Structure 1
Amino acid sequence: MKKRSRIVSLGVLALTLTMMSTCLMGATMARYVTEVTGSATAAVAAWSFKANGETSTLTAIDLGADGKREAYNENNIMKGVVAPGTKGSFDIVIDGTGSEVGIEYAVTIAEGTNVTLPDDLVFSTEAITADKPGSKLDVFSPSGTIAYASGDNSMEKTITVNWEWPFDATDDKESNDNAYVDKDWTLNITITGKQIDPNKTTTTE
């Protein structure tokens, strides 16, 4: 009887130890768990680029028009045309207003299809003088940067293109410009704007 009583006692003890062990394990494994969720947002910078108020195609620029060609003695040359001895200028207004990034710009002017310009026709972004004679179109390529800024007209840049077809009083029949008489010239103008690398040091030029 005592033997059976011991067995029962051992059984109760084992059961008690098992329950205690389970409780201890449960206490060891218990923990607070919290999940925090959210989202990431980003506002993408705006981009705006215009040249002379246009976003794709410029209105044709007439070099002979009033304001584009200097005035001359009307007894010597008709209005609205160019000829040896004439010069003038026109503006290209680059406008990045509304952009939220800095802009790199480049201007190229090239001869149109089936157009050949006189060798002495020159262009420059400065006044053309004997000391600053300008250059032919193949090397005329104004470029620069416009730093990001807020506010109206804060990202506007005007490029004045000066042109001149010099008059040479010593020309003869072998060296004259007769090949260009009564021709219509087409010049292809391309203005390109690109976003500046955000890591680049930039100032308005």
Structure 2
Amino acid sequence: MKKRFNFGRLGALALALTLITTCLTGGTLAKYTSSTVGTGTATVAKWAVVLKANGTNQTSETFTFDLTDTGINKSNVVDKKIAPGSTGSIPIEIDAAGSEVAATLSYTIDKSAIGTVPIKFYTDENLTTEVNWVENKLSESKEMTKEATGDATKLTKTIYWKWVTENDNQDTAKGSTEPADKGTITITLKAEQKIESPSTP
């Protein structure tokens, strides 16, 4: 006698196997996870420097001026010329107020091209102390921290000048020279950010 195949039992067995497989598969996909996304902001530190020579802001890489523009006694001499009795002053200033970085402020005054023009330079308005030139140059620098405020952000200097000769004959000889004597001085103003060298581990 042949046994009848029980399709009902086969279906139940297949369903049970499917449920077991689903549970096992679902178990292998479950895991712990943590994540985050960050955004970094870079804000540029402020660099605010004003360079002044003879009371005028200098915004270009080079500038020129006439020594007579700095004159004090010049009412009896034509414009752009000096003569016996001429005196004057040259104020310079480097102002880094508002900057948010450490910097080195410096100036150099170079008189090597003044030639034979008979003027002397002084550190005081009474014209008693001559400038101590080193190879025809006067230089000074100042370190400024990033937290500096007030006068700590400035480097200033004023030098004074005067026509100086030994006697009237020398004055007259200078005024009679053709072409007229002409000389120049050069002023360099500089503000430079300080950058630390990378430290070695």
TM range (shorter): 0.5 to 0.7
Of all paired residues, the percent bearing the same amino acid is: 26
Counterpart of 1:65 in structure 2 is 71
Matched AA of 2:57: E
Distance 1:21 1:166 in 2: 109
Task: Please tell me whether residue 186 in structure 1 is matched to residue 184 in structure 2.
Answer: yes
User: Offset of 1:59 from its aligned partner?
Assistant: 7.5
Q: TM-score, normalised by structure 2?
A: 0.58
Counterpart of 2:59 in structure 1 is 56
Task: Please tell me whether residue 135 in structure 1 is matched to residue 134 in structure 2.
Answer: yes
Counterpart of 1:40 in structure 2 is 40
Q: TM-score, normalised by structure 1?
A: 0.57
* Aligned 8 A contact 1:104 1:196 in 2: yes
User: Offset of 1:102 from its aligned partner?
Assistant: 1.8
Counterpart of 1:74 in structure 2 is none
CA shift in 2, pair 1:125/1:106, >3 Å: farther
SS at the partner of 1:160?
Answer: strand
User: Offset of 1:66 from its aligned partner?
Assistant: 1.9
Alignment of 1:24-173 (within 5 A): 24-31=24-31, 35-52=35-52, 54-56=57-59, 60=65, 62=67, 65-66=71-72, 81=82, 90-110=90-110, 115-118=113-116, 128=129, 133-137=132-136, 139-149=137-147, 151-161=149-159
Distance 1:108 1:141 in 2: 4
Aligned residues: 180
Q: In angstroms, what is the RMSD of aligned CA positions?
A: 4.8
| Structure 1 unaligned blocks of 5 or more | 70-77, 201-205
Matched AA of 1:60: F
User: Offset of 1:199 from its aligned partner?
Assistant: 6.2
| Structure 2 unaligned blocks of 5 or more | none
**Structure 1 residues 26-60: Cα deviation after superposition (integer angstroms, max 9, x where no partner):** 12312465654342212211111112261415683
